[in-house]
Amino acid sequence: MKIIGISSGLSYTGYTANLIRVALQTAANQGALVEEIFIPDYEVRICKGCCSCLAKGKCGINDDLELLRQKLSQADGIIIGSQAFGGEPDPAMQNFLNRIGFYNQYTGFLADKYILTIATTETFDAVRAAKKLAYLTSSYFKDGYVSGVLGFNVSWERIEHYPEYLGKIESLTIKLVNDLQRKRRFQLRGCWRRLGNRLFRVPEVKKLILAHRNGKMEAVYRELRSKGWLGEPVYDPTGTKANITATARS
């Protein structure tokens, strides 16, 4: 079992990265293979909107994103942490979520992962930021499994006065490991959002993908076909399916 801890924050020795390390140490004690990634140590430039990921399955920017994407796709569990800026993940994390999330939104390449999210602030709104981190693994077709969402509304200097916070990290990390081992499904979590996706977004997204399966959404099409998530084509702008039927009849 491989668990990756990803964090951002002002420094590698900062509050957030330290908490992620507590979680990774706990996961390692449970027998998991762990790896730590501190986003600001990597070159992750701003998305330029070329959509090469959708067409070619590879980002058009030559930086560290592909490496990070590979690491994530090889993990079973992800523990992700960010400091909160006004209730949002911080800029480095937002940028990373944008870069990874766009491709994942269509392909769901992270939708089989278990995730624990952690956000830190000095006062409030850490949970709001932590909830946003959980979107890393969601896609139109399927969502990842959210084992826990943790917000720390207390400064690093005062954390020693809140031993229950560190206890929560440890217990939720153990829960993540257990959820993974038992392949726990969370049938009710996010069920309204998933229903909305299934009824309204997925049919439209399928049309879009099928319309561009030989061009600007080729990589997405291939990935979803290999997963069997496209099902029966709901719309075929090339008329290929209709032509095959007509040929068979004539």
Size of the site for ligand FMN (CB under 6 A): 17
Give yes or no for residue 26 binding ligand FMN (CB under 6 A). no
Give yes or no for residue 148 binding ligand FMN (CB under 6 A). no
Distances (CA, A) of 29 to 13, 19, 25, 118, 170: 22, 15, 6, 19, 10
Give yes or no for residue 151 binding ligand FMN (CB under 6 A). no
Give yes or no for residue 85 binding ligand FMN (CB under 6 A). yes
Backbone CA torsion sign across 110, 111, 115, 117? positive
Binding segment toward ligand FMN, per CB under 6 A, in 109-117, 122-130, 160-168, 190-198: 122-130
Q: Residue 12 and residue 6: Cα distance in Å, rounded?
A: 11
Q: Which of 15, 38, 145, 221 binds ligand FMN (CB under 6 A)?
A: 15
Give yes or no for residue 117 binding ligand FMN (CB under 6 A). no
Q: Which of 62, 123, 247, 250 binds ligand FMN (CB under 6 A)?
A: 123
Q: Quick one: tokens of 139?
A: 């896609």
Binding segment toward ligand FMN, per CB under 6 A, in 3-11, 55-63, 180-188, 201-209: 3-11
Question: What is the closest distance, in whole angstroms, from the C-beta atom of residue 119 to ligand FMN in the complex?
Answer: 8
Question: What is the closest distance, in whole angstroms, from the C-beta atom of residue 93 to ligand FMN in the complex?
Answer: 10
Question: What residues contact 227, with CB distance under 8 A and at least 6 apart?
Answer: 108
Q: Which of 31, 49, 62, 86 binds ligand FMN (CB under 6 A)?
A: 86
Give yes or no for residue 162 binding ligand FMN (CB under 6 A). no
Q: Residue 102 and residue 65: Cα distance in Å, rounded?
A: 12
Q: Which of 75, 84, 177, 224 binds ligand FMN (CB under 6 A)?
A: 84
Which residues sit at the interface with ligand FMN, rule CB under 6 A? 9-11, 14-17, 83-86, 120-125
